[in-house]
A and B are shown apart, each in its own frame.
Chain A
Amino acid sequence: MEKIHQHSSFPQPADTDFDNIKIDGCDGANRQRSAEGFAANLKYLLVGVIFGIVFVKAEIVSWFRIQEMFRLDSFHMYGVIGSAVAVGLLSVWLIKKFNIKTLSGETVSIADKVFDKGQVYGGVLFGIGWAITGACPGPLFAQIGAGYFAVAVTLLSAIAGTWVYGLVRARLPH
Chain B
Amino acid sequence: MNIIEVLKSPWPWYVAGPLIGLTVPVLLLLGNKSFGISSSLRHICAAVIPAGLPFFKYNWRKEVWNLFFVAGIVGGGFVGNFWLGNPDAIVVAEDTRRALAALGVQDFSGLMPADIFALSNVFTVKGLIFFVLGGFLVGFGTRYAGGCTSGHAIMGLSNLQWPSLVATVSFMIGGFACTHLLLPLLLNVVQ
Residues on A facing B (Cβ under 8 Å): 1, 13, 15, 19-21, 24-33, 35-36, 40-64, 66-71, 73-89, 91-92, 94-95, 100-104, 106, 108-116, 118-138, 140-151, 153-167, 169, 172
Chain A's closest residue to B25 (CB) is A91
Task: Count residues of B near A (Cβ-Cβ below 8 Å).
Answer: 141
Residue numbers in B under 8 Å from A42 (CB-CB): 68
**8 A Cβ contacts from B62-99 to A:** 62-66, 68-82, 84-86, 90, 92-96, 99
CB pair B112–A124 under 8 Å, yes or no, is no
CB pair B59–A45 under 8 Å, yes or no, is no
CB pair A20–B55 under 8 Å, yes or no, is yes
Residues on B facing A (Cβ under 8 Å): 7, 10-42, 44-45, 49, 51, 53-59, 62-66, 68-82, 84-86, 90, 92-96, 99-100, 108, 111-113, 116-119, 121-122, 127, 129-164, 166-180, 182-183, 186
Residue numbers in A under 8 Å from B21 (CB-CB): 83-88, 91
The DSSP consensus for interface residues of chain A is helix
A50 CA to B84 CA, complexed, in Å: 12
Residues A165 and B18 in contact in the complex (CB < 8 Å), given A32-B31, A51-B23: no
Partner of B29, one of A89, A102, A158: A102
Chain B's closest residue to A64 (CB) is B92
Beyond A43-B30, A158-B139, 13 additional contacts (C-beta under 8 Å) are A27-B151, A44-B31, A48-B76, A58-B10, A61-B111, A115-B162, A129-B135, A141-B74, A145-B78, A150-B131, A154-B135, A161-B143, A163-B139
Residue numbers in A under 8 Å from B77 (CB-CB): 52-53, 55-56, 61, 141-146
A165 CA to B48 CA, complexed, in Å: 16
Residue numbers in A under 8 Å from B118 (CB-CB): 150
Partner of B96, one of A21, A32, A74, A138: A74
CB pair A166–B134 under 8 Å, yes or no, is no
CB distance from B17 to the nearest CB of A (A): 3
Residue numbers in A under 8 Å from B79 (CB-CB): 49, 52-53, 145
CB pair B148–A126 under 8 Å, yes or no, is yes
Residues A136 and B16 in contact in the complex (CB < 8 Å), given A32-B31, A103-B30: no
Partner of B136, one of A111, A113, A161: A161
CB pair A162–B59 under 8 Å, yes or no, is no
Chain B's closest residue to A166 (CB) is B55
Residues A88 and B24 in contact in the complex (CB < 8 Å), given A58-B13, A81-B17: yes
Residues A146 and B156 in contact in the complex (CB < 8 Å), given A25-B146, A29-B63, A60-B16: no
Q: List 13 A-B contacts (CB under 8 A).
A: A24-B146, A28-B37, A29-B63, A48-B75, A63-B111, A92-B28, A119-B166, A125-B137, A128-B174, A130-B175, A133-B135, A137-B149, A161-B41
A164 CA to B18 CA, complexed, in Å: 35
